[in-house]
Chain A
Amino acid sequence: MRIRLAFLLGGLAVAAMTLAFAEGPNMSLPKTVEAGNAFSVQSTGSGKATLYIIGPGQALKRDVQLGKTTFFSAGSLYNAGHYLAVLTEDSSAQSGTFDVVPSSKPEDLGFLAKPSRLPVGLHDGITGAVYVFDAYHNLITTPMPVSFELSNPSGTVQKRTVTDREGAAWTEMDSTAQQGIDKFVVRIGDISSTRVVGQVPGDPCGLKMSARQSGQKLQLMTDPVRDCNGNAVPDGTIVTFTENYNGGQSTVDVPLKHGIAEVQIAAINGATISVASGVVLGNQIRWEK
């Protein structure tokens, strides 16, 4: 069915070109139509004819009375683009073109925010890009101000206003010093779209442990582990305790639980115990009874 329609439309386009110089009915077309708006086509002459309107992803066919105005209701044409109109009467035809332009009112925002999770304190670490669409998902290319706003739970707000170009606008934001789930909002007029960006603590900072005898064992425990901005490093982060003694070594990878890592290892006189997390080294203890 679609193939037949394509052949028909193609045939009509060719016919329109070959019959362009033939005598026949005339019509007057609007230069532009806003997507979704009502419009009309005025024709001259008398009798009956058929009006075809062909555009990107859409085709209309109407029986018209020549000499009268043919009305198209709102929503008849909604895909922005260049359209061809062909008015045929028996063996003659008249053609013309017009443009359907996006509505000037934004109705939908395609908002891409990256990344969804990043460490705190990164300059220009968050990128937001927005595409502005009308109610029919046509990209609105008319420049308009776009407001970006990144707010975190502590109340810190970063704002940027940029003018979109060819329907797109983008900005970069810094991740703040405080961890939490940030709201990233883009707004044009009364239309907005929201994404969430998780700001997570950075590497541990000032990693410190203490040791105390617990029976035959040594109880090692870190202070609450925080990053350099004071954010608590999340539970599950691996802290490595290493005990070196007389050419021997004991190692244990411990996940943080409730903000601290603790473990029991053999208490060996003269042993040197160190603590690390990832590539960050902490303090060192020499155990003497």
Chain B
Amino acid sequence: MKNGRILAMLLGATTIALVVIGTVWPVPSAVAYAGGESLRRSSSTPEAAVGNLGNEIRMQAWHEAYLSLANKAQFTESEFTHDLTGYYPSLLTYATVDNVEVLPLHASANEAEVELKLQWSTVVGSSVSTRDLHLTKNGDTWEPEWPIVKEPILPPQVIPVNYLRWDVIYRGAGDDWGVQDVEAPHVRIVDMHPIERAEGVVILGELLNEDVVPAYVSVGATLLSKNQSSIATEDSFDHISHLLLPKQVTPFLIKFPDVALSDVGSIRMAPLSSLIPASADPVIEIENEQLHPIPGASLTGQLINQSGQIVNVAHVLGTFYDKTGQVVWIADEYIDRALLPQTPVPFEIHIPEDLAKNVSSQRTVIATYCSGGPQ
């Protein structure tokens, strides 16, 4: 009892001491976030100048960041802000910069090249954007030039769209008990196999909507041991395109961390589908898809929104096959910019180095989200 009181008093005293220390000698970032003096250090080196810029972007101090640029006369502050967060609502609109990395590339007495890596924290995980900045020395300080990417301006035009949409009337509460409800879409797993990775077992597969109506889909799986007891149950989460139009195929990937494939006797798959209202637009073309070998194995390409509707978030899912047509790996990437009509947007999906040598072909699908819900 006595010991408890002493411990409580000790903890209380320590807390008060820490509060006092934090108030009297705060760390610079805390001062900056509290609205006090800036985090800005002297821009006496190219790295420091880019570091200052990165910190201001992280703190969303757009005005200060804009003022620090050497080439600010070439664009407005609004254009600078939109270049970072998107001209239209997109993945970065509601994201914050979590971490800033500065990597010097080249330097001379009066000019330098520095890479600025911004790690954004978004609703679908982290997203990294990288810009190579050119810096010039002005007196004792270095000033970065922002490589602005201006959003292309589309000429005013009318894009005709034969708007195709499905709506659903479900069974009503007052219907006779024998009246059948609308049938759930028929979906089929057309390929599935487990592989073992360092992090555990991964199930790769493809799901087909073989019906004539759109389906909201998900795939669950249960690993069973050799004596048929359940080891673990997981689902595909966002490693799948959840909206499948008629005859559309999506890859899916299900992760089972910390499970060894040798412990698995069988797998019980549970594809789920439900009927939802949906639209057949927008149509996204995937252009110039290129498989790049190791090192840095990846799939690159460009997305072109062929409709007149702005796509706020695009999710690219790549399925990689070996020479026999078996799925080797599934990887994805969220595009952090809105897809404007007829405007190419690049994407790059990384392929694990150890699997890249087996990849012979690929198939890419796009899941899109427009303001107002999934399309």
Is B33 interfacial (CB 8 A cutoff)? no
A288 to B182, CA, bound (A): 48
Is B51 interfacial (CB 8 A cutoff)? no
Task: Give 1 or 0 for each of A189-228: 1 = CB within 8 Å of chain B CB.
Answer: 0000101000011011000000000000000000000000
The answer to whether A249 and B362 touch across the interface, beta carbons within 8 angstroms, is yes
Count contacts between A and B, CB distance < 8 Å: 110
Task: Give 1 or 0 for each of B201-213: 1 = CB within 8 Å of chain A CB.
Answer: 0000000111111
Most interface-central of A115, A118, A249 (chain B CB within 10 A): A249
Distance to closest chain B CB from A216 (angstroms) = 13
Determine the residue in chain A with the shortest Cβ distance to B362.
Answer: A249
A280 to B248, CA, bound (A): 11
Is A236 interfacial (CB 8 A cutoff)? yes
Interface residues of A in 109-133 (CB under 8 A from B): 110-118
A238 with B285, Cβ < 8 A, contacts A110-B178, A116-B182, A252-B306 known: no
The answer to whether A250 and B287 touch across the interface, beta carbons within 8 angstroms, is yes
Is B105 interfacial (CB 8 A cutoff)? no
Most interface-central of B209, B246, B365 (chain A CB within 10 A): B246
Is A167 interfacial (CB 8 A cutoff)? no
A253 to B301, CA, bound (A): 15
A143 to B42, CA, bound (A): 97
A248 to B289, CA, bound (A): 5
Interface size class of B (residues with CB under 8 A): 35 or more
Is B53 interfacial (CB 8 A cutoff)? no
Is B177 interfacial (CB 8 A cutoff)? yes
A170 to B290, CA, bound (A): 57
Is B280 interfacial (CB 8 A cutoff)? yes
The answer to whether B286 and A250 touch across the interface, beta carbons within 8 angstroms, is yes
User: Which among A112, A233, A266 is the interface contact of B180 at CB below 8 angstroms?
Assistant: A112
- Chain B residues near A248: list those with CB within 8 A: 288-290
Which label, helix, strand, loop or mixed, suits the secondary structure of the A interface?
A: strand
Interface residues of B in 160-191 (CB under 8 A from A): 162, 164, 166, 177-183, 190
- Chain A residues near B245: list those with CB within 8 A: 236-238, 253, 255
The answer to whether A253 and B283 touch across the interface, beta carbons within 8 angstroms, is yes
A255 to B180, CA, bound (A): 29
Determine the residue in chain A with the shortest Cβ distance to B248.
Answer: A238
- Chain A residues near B179: list those with CB within 8 A: 195
Is B339 interfacial (CB 8 A cutoff)? no
A255 with B283, Cβ < 8 A, contacts A236-B164, A236-B214, A278-B210 known: yes
Task: Give 1 or 0 for each of B13-35: 1 = CB within 8 Å of chain A CB.
Answer: 00000000000000000000000
A212 to B355, CA, bound (A): 39
User: Which among B181, B212, B283 is the interface contact of A252 at CB below 8 angstroms?
Assistant: B283
The answer to whether A263 and B306 touch across the interface, beta carbons within 8 angstroms, is yes
Is A257 interfacial (CB 8 A cutoff)? yes
- Chain A residues near B363: list those with CB within 8 A: 251
Distance to closest chain A CB from B216 (angstroms) = 15
User: Which among A115, A234, A239 is the interface contact of B212 at CB below 8 angstroms?
Assistant: A234
A193 to B288, CA, bound (A): 57
A113 with B247, Cβ < 8 A, contacts A248-B288, A252-B285, A253-B283 known: no
Interface residues of A in 228-264 (CB under 8 A from B): 233-239, 247-255, 257-258, 263-264
A255 with B285, Cβ < 8 A, contacts A201-B212, A236-B246, A238-B245 known: no
Is A279 interfacial (CB 8 A cutoff)? yes
Task: Give 1 or 0 for each of B319-342: 1 = CB within 8 Å of chain A CB.
Answer: 000000000000000000000000
A255 with B164, Cβ < 8 A, contacts A238-B248, A250-B289, A263-B306 known: yes
Is A265 interfacial (CB 8 A cutoff)? yes
Q: Can you list 27 A-B pairs, Cβ within 8 angstroms, ordered by A?
A: A111-B178, A112-B180, A115-B183, A117-B183, A117-B211, A117-B213, A118-B183, A200-B212, A203-B210, A233-B212, A234-B246, A235-B164, A235-B280, A236-B166, A237-B247, A238-B245, A239-B247, A248-B288, A248-B290, A252-B283, A252-B285, A253-B245, A253-B365, A258-B162, A263-B283, A265-B287, A278-B248
Interface residues of A (CB under 8 A from B): 110-118, 193, 195, 200-201, 203-204, 233-239, 247-255, 257-258, 263-266, 277-280
Beyond A235-B280, A255-B245, 12 additional contacts (C-beta under 8 Å) are A116-B181, A116-B182, A116-B183, A193-B178, A236-B166, A249-B290, A250-B285, A250-B289, A251-B286, A252-B285, A254-B283, A277-B247
Q: List 10 tightest A-B contacts by C-beta distance, closest first.
A: A278-B247, A255-B280, A252-B285, A249-B289, A237-B246, A238-B248, A117-B183, A200-B212, A116-B180, A251-B286
